[in-house]
Amino acid sequence: MRPRDVAGAVLVPALLAVVSGACSEHYTAPGAPIDGDVAEIVISNFAFALPAVTIDRGTSVRWRNSTSTFHTVSPDGHQAFPERQTSTSGETFQVRFDAPGTYRYYCAPHRTLGMSGEVVVR
């Protein structure tokens, strides 16, 4: 194999991996949907582990508290879902998004720490 062919054999798969990874990033940190059309956002310490997620219409988002600290997921300027509270490790709730738009949210007790996020529905 010529050096030019070796470079192509290495670069093409690497580029495909980068492109395919970018395409799947719109679901969850691991890059794959959970339970079909459900993306998961983990509440970890004083942050949403995936603060911005882009999903397709009809996809649900599940928030999961991985701590025993009290947190909220409070809508910021919209009424797509009511404020939800979590205080137990493993506690979850889920919202289905059917209308395109940007839905911002925050944790009321920890907003000053920058604990906020958004769901973009396309």
CATH code at position 50: 2.60.40.420
The pLDDT score that the predictor gives to residue 72 is 96
Q: Whole domain around residue 90: which residue ranges? A: 26-121
> pLDDT digit string (tens) for 31-89?
444 556 899 999 998 999 989 999 999 999 999 999 999 999 999 999 999 999 999 99
Q: What is the mean pLDDT of residues 92-98?
A: 94
Residue at 1 is within a domain: no
Residue at 55 is within a domain: yes
Q: Tally the domains of the chain.
A: 1
The pLDDT score that the predictor gives to residue 36 is 65
Instruction: Pick left, alpha or beta for residue 118 (phi over 0 → left; psi -120 to 50 → alpha; otherwise beta).
Output: beta
For residues 89 and 116, give the distance between their C-alpha atoms in angstroms, rounded to a whole number: 19
Query: Alpha-carbon torsion 117, 118, 119, 120, what sign?
Result: negative
> pLDDT digit string (tens) for 59-73?
999 999 999 999 999
8 A C-beta contact, residue 21 and residue 87: no
From the CB of residue 114, how many other CB atoms can be counted at a distance below 10 Å? 11
